[in-house]
C-alpha cells in the first residue's frame, strides 16, 4: 500500500508567522489596530462601490438597458 507523503509548505509557515506577529501587534495597540481596520474597510467599500458602478454601466451598455 502506497502512502502519500506531504511536502512542507513554506508559504503557510510564513503566513502563520505574519498572523502571529499581527496578533501580537493588535494586542499591544488596540486603538491603532481599530483605526487600521476601519480604514481598510472604508477603502474596500469605496473600491466595491466604484466597481459596482462600472459593472452596471457595462451591463447597461451591453444589453441596451438602463439600471436606473
pTM of the entire structure? 0.59
Domain containing 52 equals 30-68
Beta strands in 1-68 (DSSP E): none
pLDDT tens digits for 6-48? 788 889 999 999 999 989 989 999 999 899 999 999 999 999 9
Residue 60 included in any domain = yes
Round to whole Å and give the CA distance between 20 and 13.
11
C-alpha span between 57 and 51 (Å, rounded): 10
Residue 16 lies in a domain: no
Give the count of domains, the chain: 1
- Top-confidence residue, 60 or 43: 43
Q: How far apart are CA 53 and CA 47, in angstroms?
A: 10
- φ, ψ (nearest 5 deg) of residue 2: -90, 140
Residue 68: predicted pLDDT? 62
Amino acid at each position: 500500500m502506497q502512502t502519500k507523503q506531504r511536502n512542507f509548505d513554506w508559504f503557510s509557515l510564513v503566513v502563520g508567522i505574519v498572523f502571529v506577529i499581527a496578533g501580537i501587534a493588535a494586542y499591544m495597540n488596540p486603538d491603532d489596530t481599530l483605526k487600521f481596520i476601519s480604514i481598510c474597510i472604508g477603502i474596500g467599500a469605496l473600491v466595491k462601490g466604484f466597481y459596482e458602478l462600472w459593472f452596471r454601466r457595462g451591463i447597461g451598455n451591453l444589453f441596451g438597458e438602463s439600471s436606473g
